[in-house]
Structure 1
Amino acid sequence: MAAQRMRDGRPVIWSPQPAQARFMQRTENEVLYGGAAGGGKSDALVIEALRQVEIPHYRGLIIRKTFPQLRELIDKTMRYYKPVFPKARYNSSTHCWTFPSGAKIYFGSLNHAQDRYNYQGQAYDFIGFDELTHFTWEEYSYLLSRNRPNGPDTRVYTRATANPGGIGHGWVKARFVSPAPPGTRMVQMVKAKAPDGREIMQRRTRIFIPSTVFDNAALLENDPGYLGTLAALPEAEKKALLYGDWDSFTGQVFTEWKNDPAHYDDQRWTHVIRPFRIPGHWKIWRGYDFGYSKPFSVGWYAADEEGRLYRIRELYGCTGTPNEGIKADPVKQARMIREAEENDPMLRGRTILGVADPAIFNESQGESIAAMQEKSPNFLHWAPGDHTRLAGKMQFHYRLAFQADGRPMLQVFNTCKHFIRTIPNLVYSESNVEDIDTDQEDHIYDECRYVLMENPLSPPRTEPVQPMPDDPLELGKKARFFRV
C-alpha cells in the first residue's frame, strides 16, 4: 500500500504485504489472486504490470469488463506510476502509459463478446485481468492467445484477480480453485501438431493464491470499520466477500443448493445423494436440450410415489472445455442417447418419456431435429417441453426447497457431475433480473426445466428450519483438500 516510509533516503511509494508478495513471486503461466474482498488485489495487479517496463518493446495490458470499471485502476496508476517514473506519460485517448524506455501499458475493456476481436493481431507480454469472474471462458481464452512476446527477453505470462460470483464464476472455480488446494501448482501438458506431422508437447502451469481482508493489515488499520461492513452483509455475500467462499456468492440463482457428503446416505439436507436401485414401477423421464457448437444435454429422471424426482443419469456433449460442444449431428446424438439407455440396467427395457426443447420441432429450415431423430435407426420420440422461463425457474426453486423432513423434492445422484458443477454456478441476468443469464453454461438447466414443467409442484407452504452451519472461517481452517 502507499506509505510515507523511507528506504535508502527515498520515499517508499508502495510495498507488498505478505499475501501480495506471495502472488507477485509466482512464476506460473497463469495465477489467480484473491477470492475475497479487501485483499489488495487491484494494487498488486497494477504494480505487477510494471515488472518489465525497462524493456523498450514490452507491452502490457490491464483489462476489465467495462471501461468505467477501469477508472479506479487508472487512478491507482496515477498515484503509483508517476512518482516512480516522472517522465512516464499517460494518454487518455489511447488509455496507455508510455515509459521512458518506450515500454507501454494499455488499459482495455471487453464489454461484449465480439469486443475481443478488437485485440486481434495484438501481442502483449503481460495481461492482467481484474475481476476475472466477470469474463466468459471464450473471452479469457481468446485473450490468452494474445499473450505472446513482442521481442526478445520478455517474460510472457498472465495474472488475474477475482471475487466469487459473476458470469465466469463456474469456469474460474473449475480452472483455478477446485482442482487443487490453494497454493498448489497445477501442471497441464498440451499437445500441438506441426505441419511436418511432429507432435509438440508444451507445459502450462497455473495456481490459485487466496487472500482475504485479514491479509491486508494496512486496510484494517486505516479503516477498522471495513471488517464490520463485510461481516454485516447478507449471508451469501458475507461468505463470498469476507471468507472467499466459492460455493456462495452474490447473484447466485439457486441459493438453496446444498451438496453435503455427510448426508448422502440418509438423503436429508443435501441435494446430492448416492445412487440406489430404481423400483420398476417408478416413471422415468428423459430431458433433452440440443446443442452442436455448444454442449447438448440429456438427463434421466425417476419419479417416486411422492412426486420426488431423482436425476439418475446424464449424457453431456462437452469437449471438456467450458461450454464447448462436441459438434455431434442430431442422428449421432440419437445413437449416443440410445446406447446410454441400452447399456444402463436402470434404463434398459423401461418405458421412457422424452421431453425436449420445443426448438427441435422447428421446420423453418427443412426437416426438424425431432423428425431426424424419430426416423433414425435409434428411434427417439420427444414431446415439446414447456419453455416458459420464469415458471420453470420457480419450479426449480420449489423442488430445491427442503421439506419439513429435511428432504427436497429434487435430488441428484453423485454420478451426475455436470449437473453438480453447473447448476450451483448459475447467476442472474443483468438485463432481466428475474431470469438467469443465458450466456452461461445453462444447457443442463434447460433440459431439467422441461422435465420439471411436466411434473409441476405448488409452492411449499412452510420454510423448514435448517441446521446452522459452523462459522465459515472455522470451516476453512478444518477443510481437507483432495486433488480431483
Structure 2
Amino acid sequence: MDVTLSPNPKQALFFRATTRFVAYGGARGGGKSWAVRQKAMLMALHYPGIRILLLRRSFPELRENHILPLMAQLRGIAQYKETDKAFLFPGGSRIRFGYCDREADILQYQGQEYDVIFLDEATQFTEFQFQALTACLRGANPFPKRFYLTCNPGGVGHHWVKRLFIDRLYKSGELPQDYTFIPARVYDNKNLMEQDPGYVQMLKSLPADLRKAWLDGDWNIFAGQYFPEFRQDLHVIQPFPIPAWWRRYFAMDYGLDMLAAYWIAVDHFGRAFVYRELYEPDLIISQAAQHILHRNGGESLEAWYAPPDLWNRRQDTGRSVADIFAESGIPLAKAQNNRVQGWLDLKEWLKPVRDESGSESAALRFFSCCPNLIKSIPALQVSSKNPSDCATEPHEFTHAPDAIRYFVAGRPLPAAVPLEPVQNGS
C-alpha cells in the first residue's frame, strides 16, 4: 500500500529516530498526536506481524485522539476490534490501545511482549508505570524494539521525563545513547498555524508559568507546580560557616521507606538556612536515631520536630516511635500537621523578598549539600482534590518537603544577637 504523508521537519526527525527511547514534544501544538498515529500505522504496514501498544492516561483521551482518527484513516486497510481495543492488519500486525487511570492499572501488562510502545502524553504517567512498561519491550524476532514518548512540561511524570530527556541524568543501567529528545513547538506545526492562528494567541495570553511551559516548552516551570516561588538561583546557596549564636533546629519525616532529616539554622532576622541533610531508606527506629545522633555531632538544638503520628502507641507494646527516639537520646517535639496551613506558610517562607541591603532574598534557603530537598521542593504538584494542598504523588518527592513543613509549623524564633563577640561554629 502506498501511503503519502507530509510531516513537518520535527515530525520527520521523529519518524527517522532509531534509538531505543525517543521523546517528542516539549510544548503544546507541536503535532505530537498526529505523529504518533502515523508512525504506528507506518510500522504496522512495513513490518508484517509487529506488535504495537499505544497508551494514554484515560480511555476518552485515547478514543478521541487516536482510535477515531485511525478508524477513518485505516478504513479498508485494517480492521478495528472493539473487544480487543486493537487494529488488526492483513499481514498480522496489531496496534493495541491501552490506558491507565490508576497506578496499579499498569500491572495488567505484566508478562506481555511488544515490539513498539507509544506513551502519548508521557508526563501524565508515573515513573513506576514507565518502568513497568519498559519490561514489556521485548521479543525474539527481528523487529525493531522502540519506545516512543510524547510530552509537555507538567504532570505527575514531569521529573522523570525531564531527567531522562532534558537533563540527561542517568542511573545505573540507563545508557545515554539509548535516549533521543526531539523538541517541537507550535511554530513547527505549520498546518496548525495556518488552520487555527488563534491557538498561538491563546497560548500567548496564558499566565506566565503556563505560557513558558506550553508555548516555549520550558521544563523548569510547569503547570501544576505547587511552589512556583522556588528558584534555583535564589534559594540554593553555597555552604558557609554557621555562627555559633544562631538558633539551630532539627525537623524530620520518618517511615521505613525513608528518613528525611534536616538541620536548620535561624539568624537574628528570622531567616532560616537548611544546612544539613540526612536522607536514607530502610532504617528501623533505633538505626534512624543512631544515624541522626551521629550526623548531629553533639550540636545543641532548640527543638527536634517530628510529625504527630510518631506518638501513636502500638497496641502490643504500648510504646510509640517517639518513645523509642527519646530512649535513644532524641527528645522529639510534636509538630503541627495541618497540611494546607503548613504548605501555605512554606510558600510565604519561599517567596522572594528584599533583605536589609536591598538584595533579593528569601526567608528560607538551602545549602547546596541538601540535594534531595532541592530536588523535591519544585517537584511537588497541586492536589487534584484540593488546590490548596500538595499532591501526595509522586510519593518519593514528599518526604523532604514534609520535614521542612514541620519546621515551619514550629514557629522558630530568630536568634538573639550576643552582647559580646562569639566565635563561629560549623
TM-score by length of 2: 0.88
Amino acid at match of 2:250: R
- 2:424 matched to which residue of 1? none
Does the 8 Å CA contact 1:46/1:62 hold for their aligned counterparts?
no
In 2, Cα distance between the equivalents of 1:117 and 1:61? 14
In 1, Cα distance between the equivalents of 2:51 and 2:106? 17
Question: Relative to 1, partners in 2 of residues 1:26 and 1:11: Cα closer, same or farther, differing over 3 Å?
Answer: closer
Question: Relative to 1, partners in 2 of residues 1:203 and 1:303: Cα closer, same or farther, differing over 3 Å?
Answer: closer
- 1:41-66 per-residue CA deviation (whole Å, 9 max, x = no partner) reads 11112222234425444211111111
Structure with the greater relative contact order (CA < 8 A, sep ≥ 6): 1 or 2? 2
In 1, Cα distance between the equivalents of 2:373 and 2:226? 14
1:179 aligns with 2:168: yes
Does the 8 Å CA contact 2:310/2:321 hold for their aligned counterparts?
yes
Amino acid at match of 1:66: S
- 2:282 matched to which residue of 1? 327
3-state SS in 2 of match to 1:105: strand
- 1:481 matched to which residue of 2? none
3-state SS in 2 of match to 1:302: strand
1:287 aligns with 2:278: no
- 2:379 matched to which residue of 1? 425
Question: Relative to 1, partners in 2 of residues 1:296 and 1:39: Cα closer, same or farther, differing over 3 Å?
Answer: same
3-state SS in 1 of match to 2:117: strand
1:244 aligns with 2:217: yes
Instruction: State the Cα distance separating 1:456 from its structure 2 match.
Output: 6.8
Candidates 143, 166, 171, aligned match of 1:154: 143
In 2, Cα distance between the equivalents of 1:312 and 1:66? 43
For residues 273-422 of structure 1, the aligned pairs below 5 Å read: 273-293=237-257, 295-317=258-280, 326-342=281-297, 348-351=298-301, 353-364=303-314, 366=317, 367-376=319-328, 379-405=329-355, 406-422=360-376
- 2:15 matched to which residue of 1? 24
Instruction: State the Cα distance separating 1:96 from its structure 2 match.
Output: 0.7
Amino acid at match of 1:62: L
In 1, Cα distance between the equivalents of 2:99 and 2:3? 33
- 2:74 matched to which residue of 1? 81
- 1:385-423 per-residue CA deviation (whole Å, 9 max, x = no partner) reads 111011101111111122244321111112222222111
Question: Relative to 1, partners in 2 of residues 1:76 and 1:338: Cα closer, same or farther, differing over 3 Å?
Answer: farther
In 1, Cα distance between the equivalents of 2:134 and 2:302? 44
In 2, Cα distance between the equivalents of 1:352 and 1:159? 52
3-state SS in 2 of match to 1:313: strand
- 1:59 matched to which residue of 2? 51
Amino acid at match of 1:160: L
Amino acid at match of 2:380: L
Does the 8 Å CA contact 1:309/1:411 hold for their aligned counterparts?
yes
Instruction: State the Cα distance separating 1:213 from its structure 2 match.
Output: 1.0
Does the 8 Å CA contact 1:43/1:76 hold for their aligned counterparts?
no
Instruction: State the Cα distance separating 1:154 from its structure 2 match.
Output: 1.5
Instruction: State the Cα distance separating 1:108 from its structure 2 match.
Output: 0.7
- 1:267 matched to which residue of 2? none
Q: Which structure has the highest helix share of the two?
A: 2
In 1, Cα distance between the equivalents of 2:39 and 2:288? 47
3-state SS in 2 of match to 1:121: coil
1:68 aligns with 2:60: yes
In 1, Cα distance between the equivalents of 2:294 and 2:22? 41
3-state SS in 2 of match to 1:190: coil
Amino acid at match of 1:190: G
- 1:125 matched to which residue of 2? 115
1:271 aligns with 2:262: no
- 1:471 matched to which residue of 2? none
Amino acid at match of 1:357: P
Question: Relative to 1, partners in 2 of residues 1:21 and 1:288: Cα closer, same or farther, differing over 3 Å?
Answer: same
Q: Identical aligned pairs, as a percentage?
A: 35
In 1, Cα distance between the equivalents of 2:8 and 2:72? 18
Amino acid at match of 1:329: I
- 2:407 matched to which residue of 1? 451
Amino acid at match of 1:47: Q
Instruction: State the Cα distance separating 1:29 from its structure 2 match.
Output: 1.7
Amino acid at match of 1:292: L
3-state SS in 2 of match to 1:411: strand
Amino acid at match of 2:74: Y
User: Mind listing any 5+ residue stretches in structure 2 that lack a counterpart?
Assistant: 414-426
3-state SS in 2 of match to 1:296: strand
Amino acid at match of 2:160: W
Deviates more, 1:22-31 or 1:244-253: 22-31
RMSD of the TM alignment (CA)? 2.3
| Residue correspondences, number | 403
- 1:266 matched to which residue of 2? none
1:47 aligns with 2:38: yes
Question: Relative to 1, partners in 2 of residues 1:127 and 1:11: Cα closer, same or farther, differing over 3 Å?
Answer: closer
User: Mind listing any 5+ residue stretches in structure 1 that lack a counterpart?
Assistant: 1-7, 181-185, 192-201, 261-269, 318-325, 343-347, 458-484
Does the 8 Å CA contact 1:167/1:426 hold for their aligned counterparts?
no
Question: Relative to 1, partners in 2 of residues 1:60 and 1:249: Cα closer, same or farther, differing over 3 Å?
Answer: same
Does the 8 Å CA contact 1:167/1:437 hold for their aligned counterparts?
no
- 2:94 matched to which residue of 1? 104
Question: Relative to 1, partners in 2 of residues 1:334 and 1:32: Cα closer, same or farther, differing over 3 Å?
Answer: farther
In 2, Cα distance between the equivalents of 1:331 and 1:132? 41
Does the 8 Å CA contact 2:250/2:301 hold for their aligned counterparts?
no
